[in-house]
């Protein structure tokens, strides 16, 4: 092994910074680096030292996750998560330390779907990067007066985080039963039984209660067209907003009944918010 990995091992063994459960980002970076170095280590003793450090880091993470879970259960989730919510103006489809943190906190089991190949025009599961959810909650100024409907909710991350951060009513609609079961289980474990997850095709789901429709490109083509028409029918009855991420944004940008102040209404690497007001 070269001097650099040796020095890094020694640094981690002596510097206690990462042992503070709150030092999550620092620890996540160090663990990534250590994982990479481990691949190149051939001394059994050094590998054992690296593995011991990684175990200790995972244990420190678990302490933090448990504290944050407890805060959410006690209704203090927004304040407890505040140190991690400075996401700036996020873009991109990549995942980062906030996703790792909230994956640990929400602890949602990811089941193998019954039908791993989605039907035509329906998109497979991919979660919204958490920074975009934080951004959407902030820019849409979500509050307890809002009702968010996540169409194609996957494992429910959007609904859960939106509820924790804003107190909004949240409903997730998802066609895959195993995902719905996981989302419900996570909501119960987090003390949020009021987060509702419904197993349905978005073309048939109840869209009459929500005023915020969230879509991270869950479907395309005729399915997206049908669901867009259903949202449009609701927009004739009451004010609502569509919060979009990914390629489906382009479809909403082209709807004459939707308006946005966004400088680039077709941007697909960040949240775009559209507003509809009955005429």
Ligand X SMILES: C[S@@+](CC[C@H](N)C(=O)[O-])C[C@H]1O[C@@H](n2cnc3c(N)ncnc32)[C@H](O)[C@@H]1O
Binding site for ligand X (CB under 6 A): 118, 122-123, 125-128, 150, 152-154, 157-158, 173-176, 179, 201-202, 216-219, 223
Q: Which is nearer to ligand X, 77 or 129 (CB)?
A: 129
Q: Report in angstroms how near the CB of residue 34 gets to ligand X at its nearest.
A: 29
Specify the DSSP class assigned to residue 1.
-
Q: Please, what is the minimum distance in Å from the beta carbon of residue 125 to ligand X?
A: 4
CB burial of 183-218 (b: ≥16 within 10 Å; e: otherwise) equals bbbbbeebebeebbbebebbbebebeebbbbbbbbb
Closer to ligand X at the Cβ: 84 or 179? 179
Nearest of 137, 155, 125 to residue 81 by alpha carbon: 137
Give the Cα separation of 57 and 91 in Å (integer).
29
Residue 85 CB, shortest distance to ligand X, in Å, is 17
* Between 43 and 208, CB nearer to ligand X: 208
* Contact of 247 with 232, CB cutoff 8 Å: no
Q: Which is nearer to ligand X, 50 or 153 (CB)?
A: 153
Least distance from C-beta 15 to ligand X, angstroms?
Answer: 36
The nearer residue to ligand X, 77 or 127, going by C-beta atoms, is 127
**Nearer CB in complex with ligand X: 12/205:** 205
Nearest residue to ligand X by CB is 152
3 state DSSP class of 259: strand
* CA separation for the pair 252, 168 (Å, rounded): 23
Nearest Cα to Cα of residue 48 among 80, 1, 101: 1
Say how far apart CA 29 and CA 96 lie, in whole Å: 10
Q: How far is the CB of 226 from ligand X (least distance, A)?
A: 9
Minimal distance, residue 55 CB to ligand X, in Å:
30
């Amino acid at each position: 092994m070269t001097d650099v990995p040796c020095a890094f091992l020694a640094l981690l063994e002596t510097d206690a910074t990462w042992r503070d459960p709150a030092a999550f980002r620092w620890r996540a970076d160090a663990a990534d680096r250590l994982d990479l170095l481990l691949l190149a280590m051939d001394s059994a003793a050094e590998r054992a030292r690296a593995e011991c450090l990684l175990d200790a880091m995972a244990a420190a993470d678990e302490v933090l996750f448990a504290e944050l879970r407890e805060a959410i259960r006690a209704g203090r989730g927004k304040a407890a998560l505040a140190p991690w919510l400075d996401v700036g103006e996020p873009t991109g489809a990549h995942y980062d330390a906030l996703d790792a943190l909230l994956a640990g906190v929400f602890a949602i089991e990811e089941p193998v779907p019954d039908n791993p190949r989605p039907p035509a025009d329906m998109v497979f599961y991919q979660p919204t990067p958490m920074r975009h959810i934080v951004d959407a909650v902030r820019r849409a100024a979500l509050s307890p007066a809002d009702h968010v409907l996540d169409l194609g909710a996957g494992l429910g991350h959007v609904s859960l985080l939106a509820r924790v951060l804003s107190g909004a009513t949240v409903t997730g609609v998802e066609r895959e039963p195993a995902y719905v079961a996981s989302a419900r289980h996570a909501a119960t474990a987090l003390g949020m039984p009021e987060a509702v997850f419904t197993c349905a095709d978005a073309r048939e789901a109840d869209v009459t209660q929500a005023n915020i429709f969230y879509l991270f490109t869950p479907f395309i083509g005729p399915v997206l067209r049908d669901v867009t028409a259903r949202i449009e029918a609701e927009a004739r009855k009451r004010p609502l907003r569509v919060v979009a991420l990914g390629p489906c944004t382009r479809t909403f940008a082209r709807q004459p009944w939707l308006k946005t102040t966004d400088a680039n209404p077709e941007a697909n690497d960040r949240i775009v918010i559209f507003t509809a007001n009955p005429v």
